[in-house]
A and B are shown apart, each in its own frame.
Chain A
Amino acid sequence: DAGVIQSPRHEVTEMGQEVTLRCKPISGHNSLFWYRQTMMRGLELLIYFNNNVPIDDSGMPEDRFSAKMPNASFSTLKIQPSEPRDSAVYFCASSFRVRLDGGGGSYEQYFGPGTRLTVT
């Protein structure tokens, strides 16, 4: 198994530009999570999907951030327009869950290698 795949691994862009981060979860996993990691704020959950449906997006900073999961094997996180304070490492993680109330499946989340985003 290739594990969770993210692209690009590094992204450098100018303020105001659109940025799209991509994630391919582990085959068979039905839950996908987007995290942002900074020194100041640690590891923050931005949004998560279950069976391709967004379940909780309360961590999305503002309207400039959007995420989609058009099918079970692909998700995107888009920032438009980007700002310097968006500079961080963005991780995608996946797991297998049968139910959202804690029953069934596994909570274990497997992280991708991350995308290091720098907005200048």
Chain B
Amino acid sequence: GENVEQHPSTLSVQEGDSAVIKCTYSDSASNYFPWYKQELGKRPQLIIDIRSNVGEKKDQRIAVTLNKTAKHFSLHITETQPEDSAVYFCAASWGGKLIFGQGTTLQVKP
């Protein structure tokens, strides 16, 4: 079945620095790759997504890149702020459902 690997599991950056989280997927048929942000005690919330016909997508300080050949995609957060601190999950579509990575805990130090 489909598998999604996410790295790193924890990431600590200084406020203002950039953060990068990487994911790899196993099924070349996957065509949709969302990223969710989950704050402590809250639900996962979609922050950005990308489809397989696009290589890069940007929304203000966040961007996602996709390399279909290598089967990996990444989340980039620039000018990080303390409110970016949360757990981030990547996911890949497979058979009508989403397979989630294990999550990355991002800590932004003021």
Size of interface on B: residues with Cβ below 8 Å to A: 21
Q: Which of A94-120 contact B (CB under 8 A)?
A: 97, 100-102, 107-114
In the complex the two chains form, what is the Cα distance from A113 to B101 in whole Å?
A: 20
In the docked arrangement, what's the CA distance between A27 and B95, Å?
A: 23
Q: Does B96 contact A (CB under 8 A)?
A: yes
Interface residue? B98 (CB, 8 A) = yes
B82-104 contact mask (Cβ, 8 Å, vs A): 1 or 0: 00000001000101111111110
Whether B43 lies near A113 (C-beta < 8 A) is yes
Asked if A112 meets B43 with Cβ closer than 8 Å, knowing A43-B89, A107-B32, the reply is: yes
Q: Mark A29-62, 1 if CB is under 8 A from B, else 0.
A: 0010100000000110100101000011000000
A56 and chain B: residue at smallest CB distance: B97
CB pair B44–A45 under 8 Å, yes or no, is no
User: Is chain A's interface secondary structure helix, strand, loop, or mixed overall?
Assistant: strand
B91 to chain A, nearest CB (A): 9
A110 touches B46 (CB 8 A): yes
Starting from the known contacts A50-B96, A91-B44, 9 additional A-B residue pairs (CB-CB under 8 Å) come to: A42-B101, A42-B103, A43-B89, A45-B99, A107-B49, A107-B93, A109-B46, A110-B46, A113-B42
Which residues of B approach A to under 8 Å, CB–CB?
29, 31-32, 34, 42-46, 49, 89, 93, 95-103
A-B contact pairs, 9 of them (CB 8 A): A31-B96, A42-B100, A48-B96, A56-B97, A91-B44, A107-B93, A109-B34, A109-B46, A109-B98
